[in-house]
Chain A
Amino acid sequence: MILRRLGWIGASCSLVFALAAPSCFAAGLKVALVLDKGGKDDKSFNSAAFRGVTQAKEELGISLKYVEATDDNAFESLLRAFAQKKFDLIIAVGVSQADAVKKVAPKFPEQKFAIVDAEVDLPNVRSLIFEEHEGSFLVGAIAGLTSKTGTIGFIGGMDIPLIRRFEMGYVAGAKQVNPKIKLKSNFIGITGDAWHNPAKAKELAIAQYSGGADVIFAAAGASNGGLFDAAEELKKLAIGVDSNQNWIKPGYILTSMLKRVDTAVYDVCKDTQSGKFSSGIKRFGLASTGVDYAVDEFNEKLLPPAVREKVEKLKADIIAGKIKVPDYYQKKK
């Protein structure tokens, strides 16, 4: 008997979670945030989104409910549950929620949706797209200027177009400053587990470092920690992703490729509150500082002024259209 009950609890836990979560009665705009598997403390992509809504909560007085989907199949029911509870704005974080948003949003035309990293063409959905290749280009240039061995590394979570876009921009940036640079590139896995497998990321990093790479850029969600451990143990350099990760291992993290999901998410809350919500695709590139590289007290010493000047020059050239950064999405089309 107990067993049967246990199994039932297991099977229905995501549903219960979904129904229990949106149950607050605060005034102001009601915003729901659906995070993907990484969870709000992945120190990376989801963390950035969570910072954005937290800022909106503090500054705009919105009421916020968030939930971390532990399973890709939960997205649709979570989004629907929030919509049924009459949340004004529902923000879906991550490319894996695209199909769920496409299904749920048309059924609730009065409510607004936003999705990060995917294009969903519906009248009540705003798609927040980041020009990852531009930011990656800059950290690639930094890697190229910093590397002494002439070999740099890249570690991606899964071999998907989004991550290939990071890689392509990164290589192009490094080649821009050092045409002879060599790249070692690895991917962690073929399932969603790749985003939370730091042990595997560490092995990949050790293999790349011992193969001659001295700077490695990883775009692998919560697995990034494995790269940072390897950098610390072997006294090499790493580059973080999405959020500013410089603080995690000061002295070993050269810089971080910033993806300002926080600003984009904050803006959509603000626009919705002031009745200025607009659907369609919002692109965040270097020009709008939607992507960037991080400089703070933790990595100042690793980035000499000469390097910073060159990178700033490249940044200006990209914004001015003088340099065209290759985009994996365009290549596919």
Chain B
Amino acid sequence: MDGYFGIALALIASTLRVSTPLLFASLGGLVSERSGVVNIALEGMMLVGAFGAAVVALSSGSPWLGAAAGAAAGLVFAVFYALIVIQLRADQIVAGTAMNMLAAGATPFLSKILYDSTGSTPGLPIDARFQFAPVVLAWAFVLLVWLWIAYTPSGMWLRFAGEKPEALEAAGVRVNRVRWTSVMLSGALAGIGGASLSIFLASSFSRNMTAGRGFMALAALIFGKWKPFPTAVACLLFGFADALQIRLQGVILWGTEPVPVQFIQILPYLATILVLAGLVGRSRAPRALGLPFRKP
């Protein structure tokens, strides 16, 4: 296990684990945004999912039921979002921000009601947590979402809802119905992403445990040009930068003093900026992204 091979293996395992919540969330973002609905509420959807998953995994002892509950919680939360931005045509950025605040406030509140503890839910025993399954599941979902969008009629509706909603409506498909479905699906995916945080990478829900991952997922989505596989690769890259950063802290690269921790810790973000600015080329958003659809 020792030597470079062991280090490389540990690094790969770490990358896969760290990128799992990002993968789910960015797929969620992809489904919503390709249908024309900006989704900066991903962070909140993840948080709600993480909470729901922790509660159900704790009471049932099954991580699978927990993950399902995480998806359900994210979905229910997304229904509110869809109602506000699709039905009532609110500004999607502002509404998304409000949803994130709502999630950050509602989860400790519910936790207080259930467990009389605002900080975190009680710890999950080891057999109520996932060991490796979410990593595989995440990649299965990448494949599924890609197949769906590229090869099925409903996948095509999704793309048209985001590119040329008028054309889709003219063809007899209700644009807003497509968007409703995608936003709900988006919530479910982000919810599983949150679940993979609370019942896979950690052992309980703790307040604000998403720690900005919803926004990282959005960045990965833009970076991946709103396409499933490039987005997944972007998530991997973020995960890799994070895993590498963990192992570079305190390493002496030159001289006698290690590189300051703060410098090492900005590397993932620095890498993101450099890659976004230089290597990706133009990343074009769906044409109707952020525009509420009104029947002509």
Contacts and interface: CB of A to CB of B under 8 A. Distances in A.
Q: Is A bound to B?
A: yes
Interface of A: 2-3, 6-7, 9-10, 13, 37-43, 46-47, 68, 70, 159, 184-187, 189-191, 193, 196-200, 202-204, 206-207, 210, 222, 225-226, 228-229, 232-233, 248-249
Contact of A2 (B88, B250, B260, B261): B88
A13 B106 CA distance: 12
B265 A187 contact: yes
Contacts of B206: 196, 198, 222, 225
B90 A3 contact: yes
Given A9-B98, A189-B211, 15 more contacts: A3-B84, A10-B102, A70-B105, A185-B250, A196-B208, A198-B202, A199-B209, A199-B211, A200-B242, A203-B246, A210-B6, A222-B120, A222-B206, A225-B204, A248-B123
A185 B249 contact: yes
A41 B250 contact: no
Contacts of B246: 186, 203-204, 207
Contacts of B6: 210
B249 A42 contact: no
B101 interface: yes
B interface bracket (residues with beta carbon within 8 Å of A) = 35 or more
Interface stretch (B10-18, B31-39, B220-228, B281-289): B10-18
Given A199-B197, A199-B209, A232-B126, A207 B90 contact: no
B97 interface: yes
A229 B202 contact: yes
Contacts of A191: 212
Nearest to B269: A190
Contacts of A226: 201-202
B90 A2 contact: yes
8 contacts: A6-B84, A6-B95, A39-B207, A41-B119, A191-B212, A198-B206, A199-B202, A222-B206
A207 B14 contact: yes
Contact of B10 (A43, A207, A228): A207
Nearest to B129: A229
Nearest to B112: A41
A263 B71 CA distance: 43
A159 B250 CA distance: 12
Contacts of A249: 123
B108 interface: yes
Given A185-B249, A222-B206, A193 B119 contact: no
A39 B119 contact: yes
Given A42-B119, A186-B250, A202 B202 contact: yes
Which of B18, B119, B123, B204 has the most chain A CB atoms closer than 10 A to its own CB? B119
Nearest to B88: A2
Given A159-B261, A202-B202, A222-B207, A3 B91 contact: yes
Nearest to A17: B105
A199 B201 contact: yes
A42 B120 CA distance: 7
Contacts of A70: 104-105
A249 to B, nearest CB: 8
B200 to A, nearest CB: 9
Contacts of A229: 202-203
Contacts of B266: 190
A189 B209 CA distance: 13
Contacts of A40: 118-119
Nearest to B17: A203
A204 B201 CA distance: 12
A43 to B, nearest CB: 7
A95 B81 CA distance: 37
Contacts of A3: 84, 88, 90-91, 94-95, 98
Contacts of A203: 14, 17-18, 201, 242-243, 246
A37 B207 CA distance: 9
Which of A2, A38, A199, A226 has the most chain B CB atoms closer than 10 A to its own CB? A199
A203 B14 CA distance: 7
Nearest to B6: A210
B294 interface: no
Contacts of A198: 201-204, 206, 209
B289 to A, nearest CB: 18
Contacts of B265: 187, 189-190
A206 B120 CA distance: 22
